[in-house]
Amino acid sequence: MSFFGFNNSGHNQAAPGFSQAHNPFAGLSHRDDEGEALEFDDTYDGLGDQLEETGDDLNDDTFGGDVAPTGHGSVGRDFDFFGQTSKVANVIEEEHMRFARQQPPSKVAQHTPAPAPQSYDYGYQQQQYARPVRTGYEQYKEEPPALDDLQVDLSLWGVAPKKQQQPAQAAAPSPAPARKILSVEEVEAQMRAQAKKSPQPPPQQAPGMAPPPGLQQQQYAQQQFFNNGYQYPNMQQPPQQVPPQHFAPLQPQVPRPQDTSREPAQPAHAQPVQILQRPQSKHAQVPSPVAPSPVNRQQPPAVQTPQGLQQPHPGQGVHPTQILQNPNRLSGEHGQPSPISQPSHVAAQTHPGHPAHQGHRQQQSFSQQQQAPLAPPQVAMLSKEEQDAYLAQEAKRAKRNHKIFVMSKDNGIMTPQDKNFITRIQLQQLVQATGNPSEFGTDQSLVEDFYYQVHSQIQGGHRQHPSQPLNNFAQTYLFQTGSRQGGMRRHNRGGDNHMQRMEQQVQRAVEAAKNKPKNKQLVIEGSLGKISFSNAKTPKPLLNIKRTESSGEVQRPGTGSRTQTAAGGLSRKEALRSIEAVYDTLMKLEDHERWRPPPPVSEVEQPDEVQKSIEWGEQTARLNAKLLEALKVGAPVGVYPVHPFITLLSFNKTIKVMQRVFRHLTHQQRLTVLTLIVYSLDSMDVVKGAQVNNTNDIRFNAAMKEKVELFMLNVMSTLFNFIGELDLDLVAQLLEIVSDRNVGAIAKSKIGASLLTMILSRAEIIKHAGGGNEHSWQKWNYQYTRFFDHLAPHLPYIFPGSPTSGEDVYVWQLLAAIGIGASPDQQQTLVLQVKDRVMDTVTLAKTLPVELSTQRLNNVNLFMHSIGLDVGLLA
């Protein structure tokens, strides 16, 4: 065989790893090839056929002589035990055979110096022998080789001094050498055996060749395969060393070394090898040589009966072999060294071997099972307890082997891929059964873990449960992000964008007006967009709290509510309770929103869906009504000094929630809210408590400042968006309402001024968009004039702080909004009213760094451009 050919016969045997999945008989195939057609061919890859048998000679050089020699297949097949699922049974049988063969050779090797070279020879010899053996076992094509081996072994043994099988051995004497390289286990076994040997001087054995350690080892190996527990016996066996004798006696069974002589007649039975193993065990077991022999004899018959084949060699008792293994244990355990017994064992083993093979085949290779029954005879000698234990063990082992056998039928049916596939399916089912946390416990987890769930949604961090409902929540809170972030500490971020956007749009509107100042027909599409209330450049308005009016402190929720309580409005407690009701209802609404049923495609086909939809709508309406009630929007106007809703709006809580509330209101309800706010502007604390004073820097009230800012971001932006949807008639009505109030006071607050700007700019946008009819415009113009007349006197006083404060952007925006829609006369009035402020700012700008200066002038220009002027003209 070539070096790289990896001939199965030679190589696999040596390396267990290679042969495992392979055809266990691959190695045998070679032998078979010579003389007979093998059925193995079907499973065999055919490589063996291609190999040159003669070429194997070099294998020794390449791989070391030990490996190749004895049985090509024998060594490696041990590992193949379960290799082929379909032939497992056969394999097991063969395994026995192989072991049997191996043992003899090993023994030979040890005993006889020749071994190494023998290996090759051995193989050939085996083949020769094989044929005779086959005759008996023709049925099992695979087996023949094994038989051959056995014979060879026998012959080898025969070579040994002993008498028994010698004839057969003689035929194949020299070659038999040990083929195996000793495995670690074998080595250990040998060592143990030796150790044990010393204690056990086998007188009887003496004649025969010392039981070759190799045999023991082999046996050992076998045992390991079949019976893990039985290793001991092998150990003990070595001392007996009578192996050759044993082989001979095989047939006669234990008692008769003499029988061995008979055995020669039975050369055909190569099986002895198997027996050998067992005999060893027996040796150990049997303390007294004499006694054992008889017993064994007696026992065998009973055992044999089961095995029809064995009968021909009645005395030899197939059972012994089987028994041997078990006995070995016992012996090992008991530590009873009986030289005499050993021979008997050997004999028994040998005999059993033959029958055993047959029986094995019949039984489908469960030698172990057979063994169990056989054991009893030997066991008989043991104490009852021991017997019981032994039997129990045997039964256990048999059971286990049977199980393995039964299962082994299906070995290899599934590929690893198949297994993976199944595993995946199972996992899937597991997940389904357990429930996907995200789907399964959405509601539950929301109840228990609301903050975390929503928070992680918003943060976008670990989105473990991206489910629709959660997203709804996340949206709810994300919506507020701007106001939230701008609200307190950092109103640069969320609010900034908003502001900048508005500012830009106001600027654009002003640009448009400036470009076509005199042309009233001019319509610039989308030019007048939004108005910025303030921005980063124009921080918060300074507060000027007047003692005469209710001061900021008074307006603080605490004191304010007390006043209101006295006046028949909401008490603070009632207000807070009401606000909580608002929140509660709002959350229910938001929760409810998640269950909004999909719009039914067809009312006819999906009555259920329609029903659901209707129910959902009803529930929504109920919640909405509850929300409005909690908001006190429906309270009669004018009954209370301060409308309850406005009272609620004096709480930061309410201010914060307005944006969310608005989303759940209908258009009409929003309009109501807006009207209420506009109507109550001058009584709102954010207006009343935040009046500006243009003479001195505003007195600083952090709480009010924050509140105004909060209001701007939450309420005003919401209102701004809403006003953007109103038509001219409604805007005119709003202006009318404002005009009825204290316009001066309103304009003196940032909130008020911003709201005015919104209303005016909305009208301007409608005008640019060509909206509104003639009647509406007349109405608007009337209202505008009225409003202007009310406001004009207050114009000089609506600026926050001195020009140096730099917080008057929103005022310029308001002026711009007024100026755009003003008639020439009104514009002139405007200019007159704010001329001082303009001049002061321009003057101031000259003293400021370029950036600040530009900023200030731009602010002024917002207004100047709206009336067709430019700061540049003043310079």
> Can residue 443 be called a binding residue for another protein (CB under 8 A)?
no
- The single residue among 192, 313, 319, 484 that binds another protein, judged by CB under 8 A, is 484
What radius of gyration, in Å, describes the C-alpha atoms of the chain? Answer: 54
> 102, 453, 564, 650: which one contacts another protein (CB under 8 A)?
453
Stretch that binds another protein, among 195-203, 581-589, 634-642, 725-733 (CB under 8 A): 581-589
Closer Cβ to another protein, 4 or 451, answer by number? 451
| Contact between 577 and another protein per CB under 8 A | no
| Phi-psi region at 112: left, alpha or beta (left = phi > 0; alpha = psi -120 to 50) | beta
Q: Binding to another protein by residue 351, rule CB under 8 A?
A: no
If the CB atoms of residues 274 and 457 are measured against another protein, the closer one turns out to be: 457
**Under the criterion CB under 8 A, does residue 447 sit at the interface with another protein?**
yes
The count of chain residues that interact with another protein, using the rule CB under 8 A, is: 21
Q: Which of 246, 282, 656, 750 binds another protein (CB under 8 A)?
A: 656
Identify the residue among 63, 124, 225, 477 touching another protein (CB under 8 A).
477
In the list 45, 61, 448, 727, the residue contacting another protein (rule: CB under 8 A) is 448
If one asks whether residue 124 binds another protein (CB under 8 A), the answer comes out as: no
Is residue 580 involved in binding another protein (CB under 8 A)? yes
Output 364 or 481, the one with its CB closest to another protein: 481
- Near another protein by CB under 8 A, which window of 108-116, 254-262, 371-379, 476-484? 476-484
Distances (CA, A) of 857 to 754, 831, 837, 840: 20, 16, 12, 11
Report the phi/psi class of residue 36: left, alpha or beta, with left for phi > 0 and alpha for psi in -120 to 50. beta
- Phi and psi, residue 308, nearest 5°: -60, -40
Shorter beta-carbon distance to another protein: residue 397 or 484 = 484
- Binding positions for another protein, 101-120, rule CB under 8 A: none
Task: Give the span between the Cα atoms of 775 and 474, in whole angstroms.
Answer: 46
Question: Could you tell me the smallest distance in angstroms from the CB atom of residue 661 to another protein?
Answer: 13
Closest CA to 105 of 212, 263, 265, 260: 212
Which of 234, 235, 265, 236 lies closest to 250, judged by CA?
265
Distance of alpha carbon 207 from alpha carbon 192, whole angstroms: 22
In angstroms, what is the minimal distance from the CB of 612 to another protein?
24
Does the protein bind another protein through residue 707 (CB under 8 A)? no
The half-sphere exposure of 182 on its side-chain side, counting CA atoms within 13 A, is 20
Q: Select the residue interacting with another protein from 206, 522, 587, 874 (CB under 8 A).
A: 587
Cα 145 to Cα 134: distance, rounded to the nearest angstrom: 8
Distances, alpha carbon 30 to alpha carbons 88, 151, 240, in Å: 20, 18, 35
Asked whether position 444 contacts another protein by CB under 8 A, the answer is: no
Q: Check binding of 449 to another protein (CB under 8 A).
A: yes
- Choose one: 115-123, 452-460, 493-501, 679-687; the region binding another protein (CB under 8 A): 452-460
CA-based nearest residue to 31, from 20, 23, 40: 40
Contact between 451 and another protein (CB under 8 A)? Answer: yes
From residue 213, alpha-carbon distances to 197, 218, 394, 499 in Å are 10, 8, 26, 98
Helix, strand or coil for residue 569?
Answer: coil
Identified binder of another protein from the candidate list 139, 383, 432, 459, rule CB under 8 A: 459
CB within 8 Å of 478: residues ≥ 6 apart: 458
Other C-beta atoms closer than 10 Å to the C-beta of 159 total 25
* 240, 264, 302, 564 from 206: Cα distances, Å: 8, 19, 30, 123
Smallest distance, another protein to C-beta of residue 645, A = 21
Whole-number Å distance between alpha carbons of 735 and 733: 5
Tell me how far, at minimum, the Cβ of 782 lies from another protein, in Å.
Answer: 43
The answer to whether residue 609 forms part of the interface with another protein (CB under 8 A) is no
How far, in Å, CA of 107 to CA of 415, rounded? Answer: 41
Whether 650 and 555 have beta carbons less than 8 Å apart is answered as yes
Shortest separation between residue 417's beta carbon and another protein, angstroms: 39
Indicate whether 454 belongs to the interface with another protein (CB under 8 A): yes
Pick from 274, 321, 480, 534: which binds another protein (CB under 8 A)?
480
User: How many angstroms separate the CA atoms of 286 and 298, rounded?
Assistant: 15
Q: Which residues bind another protein (CB under 8 A)?
A: 447-456, 458-459, 477, 480, 484, 489, 580, 583-584, 587, 656
